[in-house]
Structure 1
């Protein structure tokens, strides 16, 4: 999405009905929220965030999303926020970009983007907004404590110099075993993302764990525990293809999810109520139709021929015999 500086807004500062334009349409289901968040990545978000909860139930770690668009992945991520944790979302939304190249990208890809639309969507599924930072992602290290995050989703600018800065920020803000997810790392229209992410693998110690068609998931900590647990989970699923190959000296899982069964989605507070089944219409029995009048008897072919061709006396004899 991309990345002025407006003060951060705490979750308590906006609840349902506050901060969002009442005229904006409210999604009645998760699928109504516009965005690019494919089933395989929904499953991996669910798996990593649930894995962190299950392996460290007493631990705490904040959540961070850099680049939010209209909130699809943020809505999904917010479900996994635990008591005592903070979820921060940073985006430019409808603010001016900090430089000409980023401004051109915003005009080209996200001309309809607004903060109000994000808020309306998010509050359709959650009671409170996350902490909102409406600013370039370059400010995020001044708004989030170092080494406080257990999960960071990077989906902001596609320009190399900005992605490079987002990677440095993610490394500074993640806990030692925290997970980072990079979007569009292999898209043909985003070579800057690919160059920055694989450059980080080569130079910063970023260790990829798994890739999908759109995202790379990795850590600056020890990838082995999460990787082995993920492989065990994948072995039991028939809706996801996976393979493993060595990259940068470590096993890397590849996933294809064309038939992936998505996890349970957040429920919208605007979901229409189920309508009662209408009473079955009473069966109407049509009145009996009046009996058709009897059809006149037609003379047999033999009788007609006899009348036309034979002498009357012979014809009457033949007809009497056939009738008898």
Structure 2
């Protein structure tokens, strides 16, 4: 996506926002964000690229909840990326203005933006204040360790953290940091997909029970079970293939409508909600 002032255009659908946020994970974000909404809690995203996952998270922010997004947005004056190749990539593709343009195509108000390295968040976000955190910033081992340690402090005990690229062969540092946190820091996996791990510092079994029920009502979603050091971890995958990748799972009617609202611009979402109101 070009970031020049004359070429930026607003996307009309989530699929038009560049990024690697797969349909299965889009649906799971909705599941976990609803499951943790029984009482207020803040949302946090570490690393957002051009806002694809941010847009979905923003649809689940409740009244009085704070949604914070932290990213360098290609600005080296706020710190440095761990690898020059990472910096070169983001300098060509990412800017704060491009992110804001995409997000405002679906929402009327921006989240709170922290343009800095994610290691500043430990001093900015209150302890035990967040119910859902998405970690997708630096993919270097040392940086991911810091991000997970921050998450453990700011996430309330029954909150959920989503960790990107835990098994990508090009980002082994992420996997090392994630599994180290499982075996030595008390992080407990709820489930994994081909792209993300979802974990908590609480007992994962209640979430796993509800997740099995949700998956049972979701076509094209397959659930397997693994034991990791004696603890259950669910493994979810999509059986559908569309344009070289999994299609968005088809939940029951009400869930599908909620997901539709997650990926439509505000003007369309308002029309959908009006149509659903009792007459």
Alpha-carbon contact 2:44-2:69 (below 8 Å) kept: yes
Distance in 2 (alpha carbons) for counterparts of 1:269 and 1:229: 30
State the TM-score, normalizing by the size of structure 2: 0.84
- Change beyond 3 A, Cα 1:142–1:102: farther
- Determine if the alignment matches structure 1 residue 41 to structure 2 residue 22: no
- Where 1:252 maps in the other structure, the secondary structure is strand
Q: Does 1:249 align with 2:230?
A: yes
Equivalent runs, 1:66-215 vs 2, <5 Å: 66-96=46-76, 98-99=79-80, 101-108=82-89, 111-215=92-196
Report which of the two has the higher share of helix: 2
The answer as to whether partners of 2:131 and 2:155 remain within 8 angstroms in 1 is: yes
Contact 1:200 1:206 in 2 (8 A): yes
Q: Please give the secondary structure, in 1, of the residue aligned with 2:36.
A: helix
* Equivalent residues in 2 for 1:269-284, closer than 5 Å: 269=266
CA-based RMSD of the aligned residues comes to: 1.9
1:268 aligns with 2:261: no
Find the aligned partners of 2:91 and 2:211 in 1 and give their Cα distance. Answer: 34
> In structure 1, what is the Cα distance between the partners aligned to 2:187 and 2:239?
28
C-alpha distance in structure 2 between counterparts of 1:98 and 1:186, whole Å = 27
Equivalent position of 1:60 in the other structure: 40
Q: Say whether 1:50 aligns with 2:34.
A: yes
Which of 29, 38, 42 pairs up with 2:13? 29
The answer (yes or no) to whether the contact 1:27–1:270 under 8 Å persists in 2 is no
Deviation at 1:29, TM superposition (A): 1.5
1:21-64 superposed Cα distances (whole Å, 9 cap, x missing partner) = 575211122111111100110111011111223xx2xx110000
What do residues 215-239 of structure 1 show as CA deviations (whole Å, max 9, x unaligned)? 0001011111111111122223331
2:42–2:131 CA contact under 8 A, matched in 1: yes
Note the residue ranges of structure 1 that are not aligned, 5 or more in a row. Answer: 1-19, 272-324
Q: Following the alignment from structure 1 to structure 2, what is the Cα–Cα distance between the partners of residues 66 and 22?
A: 29
Secondary structure of the corresponding residue to residue 217 of structure 1 = strand
Question: How many angstroms does 1:172 deviate by?
Answer: 0.6
> How far apart are the structure 2 equivalents of 1:248 and 1:68?
32
Q: Distance in 2 between matches of 1:83 and 1:219?
A: 24
Structure 1 Cα separation of the partners of residues 81 and 223 of structure 2:
41
Highest CA radius of gyration, 1 or 2? 1
Preserved CA contact (<8 Å) 1:26 1:270: no
Q: How many residue pairs are counted as aligned between the two chains?
A: 248
**Aligned residue in 2 for 1:274:** none
Distance 1:226 1:29, change over 3 A: same
Deviations, residues 93-146 of structure 1 (Å, cap 9, x unaligned): 021173473343221455321000000000111111000000000001122111
CA contact (8 A) 1:243 1:254 kept: yes
